[in-house]
Amino acid sequence: MRRNLQRMTLGWVAALGLALPGVLGVTRAEAQPRPTARPRSAARARPLPQQTVRSLVTDMAEMDPQEVKLDLDRYRVVQAAELMDTTQLGRLVDLVDDNSTARRNQNLVTTLLRQSKRLSSGQTVVGADLRRRQLFVVDNRLIAPNNGIQ
């Protein structure tokens, strides 16, 4: 009998909790775990696979800056720090620095974007995806030598 009474009491408490959430001091919204909020850009961003870092450098080295200049408005500027972790970003910066053609194209395209006001003086192009017409940029503070990325 006592066991049945406990079950009935728990049943009434549960029913009251569902019917009158404020009575128990916990609302349904508080009882359910809430997903963490992310900025809209982060919700769309997917981490880049490791082989993509090398392809960004390859496209940077193989691009024709004059061709990019002619179609500059068709290229999308992408924030690399939103898609890469610091290890990938550091690897990308190192690979571009080690490739003289990629480094030259990096300087030319960075200058083009700055002149067109699509890039601030505190940003640098670090990679390119020519197939998707994307130019990956990063804030210079992130790639500073004393920041530990390089």
Is pLDDT larger for residue 44 or for residue 1? Answer: 1
- Find the range with the poorest average confidence among 38-42, 64-68, 69-73, 107-111: 38-42
| Total residues found in the chain within this entry | 150
Q: Of the candidates 148, 73, 86, which has an alpha carbon nearest to the alpha carbon of residue 117? A: 73
Q: What's the confidence (pLDDT) of residue 95?
A: 94
Partners of 137 in beta bridges:
79, 125
What is the Cα–Cα distance from 67 to 65, expressed in whole angstroms?
5
Q: Helices marked H in the chain — which ranges?
A: 2-19, 28-31, 40-44, 50-62, 65-70, 86-98, 100-115
Share of the chain above pLDDT 90, in %: 51
Report, as an integer, the average pLDDT of 23-52: 48
Q: Do both 122 and 62 map to the same domain?
A: yes
pLDDT mean over 36-55:
56
Same domain, 45 and 29: no
Q: Say what the pLDDT of residue 12 is.
A: 52
Cβ(120)–Cβ(127) below 8 Å: no
List the domain range (segments joined by +) for residue 65.
Answer: 41-147
pLDDT of residue 40: 44
What letter does residue 84 receive in the DSSP assignment?
A: S
46 lies in the same domain as 30: no
Whether 22 and 57 map to the same domain: the answer is: no
- For tokens 């067109």, the residue is 116
Q: Are residues 99 and 126 in the same domain?
A: yes
Same domain as 63, residue 8: no
Model confidence band, residue 60 (pLDDT cutoffs 50, 70, 90): very high
How many structural domains comprise the chain? 2
Residues 23-33: tens digit of each pLDDT: 444 444 444 44
- Report yes or no on whether pTM surpasses 0.75: no
Does residue 114 share a domain with residue 94?
yes
Q: Are residues 74 and 29 in the same domain?
A: no
Judge if 124 and 50 occupy the same domain: yes
* Lookup: tokens for 63: 């691009």
Residues 16 and 81 in one domain: no
Could you give the CA distance from residue 104 to residue 92 in angstroms, rounded to a whole number? 15
| Domain shared by 112 and 93, yes or no | yes
Shared-domain flag, residues 132 and 80: yes
Angle 50-62/86-98 helices, nearest 10 degrees? Answer: 30
> Given this model, what pLDDT does residue 2 score?
57
